[in-house]
Homo-oligomer: A and B are copies of this chain.
């Protein structure tokens, strides 16, 4: 390569914009200049086209398209005090029901031009406060939370931020807060009632962790209530609390069997736990439902496909996300929605329950 051409190449190279700190894409002022209008008119044409003469409007829109204009969200948020983002805080996305409802939530708000910020706290209420704080800091216009159990700091933070928030997967009976869900207690009682009607009298239960988890707690309480109405009780030694997971559930169920407890009905806090129990029962040659009836909660897809198909409570998981989105959007828009929204859930009787053998 000769000196001249070499120099030439280098000149060319240096002409390229540096990759870092490169001038970001066109700003609104560039669009305005290109269209021959003022900044304010350009802003209006894009935000509320009705405010601008059709001719002007299309000139501006053309310019924006030509320049590949992408609005600067932070600037917009700063000036307008709305970020058009919504925060969702879930225990974990590893649980398919939270993943599915979050998916539905995201899908719905995207339709209205909103973006979802997600955080998870892995069932740690103090971690949740931090997550929410991060979301508030990002200026979310609203926050969707799971359950009713939260740190007092959480409530303080939320009150101070003065943004709408909503609890899901449970309804706040006190009507103090906005909530969307169903009564975990009643639903669980419904399951127990079904088993009672089949003739079961000896129960056991596998539950998720109940500390800091009102849903799990209410489900246990619901079963106890239903039994109590029949003069029966569910002793603590027959209620196993375990962390989430199929293999953990298998192990727990195994322990329960090994402990020598006698029972004909096993109520599980959710489908995954029930599946674990079903798997362990099969491994041990326990016939379900002949020797043992098993129930779940959630009605994940597998529940209906598994053999034996699982008797469980059907939850309209996607609806929860979607309706939460709609209630949130309405409130952000200044609308009013009922303080609490009850989602219908129902028992699906399948092959895993039958009268005691």
Contacts and interface: CB of A to CB of B under 8 A. Distances in A.
Interface of A: 19-20, 22, 24-25, 68, 70-75, 77-78, 83, 85, 92-94, 96, 99-100, 102-103, 106-107, 110, 113, 115-120, 122, 131, 133-139, 160-162, 245-247, 250, 275-276, 279, 282-283, 301-302, 304-307, 334
Contact of A139 (B73, B120, B162): B73
A306 B74 CA distance: 49
B119 A118 contact: no
Given A70-B136, A116-B118, A117-B116, A283 B301 contact: no
A283 B306 CA distance: 10
A85 B83 CA distance: 13
11 contacts: A71-B137, A72-B139, A73-B137, A73-B138, A74-B74, A92-B103, A93-B93, A106-B120, A113-B134, A246-B305, A247-B301
A161 B19 CA distance: 11
A74 B70 contact: no
A301 B99 contact: no
B74 A78 contact: yes
Contact of A85 (B113, B117, B247): B117
B99 A305 contact: no
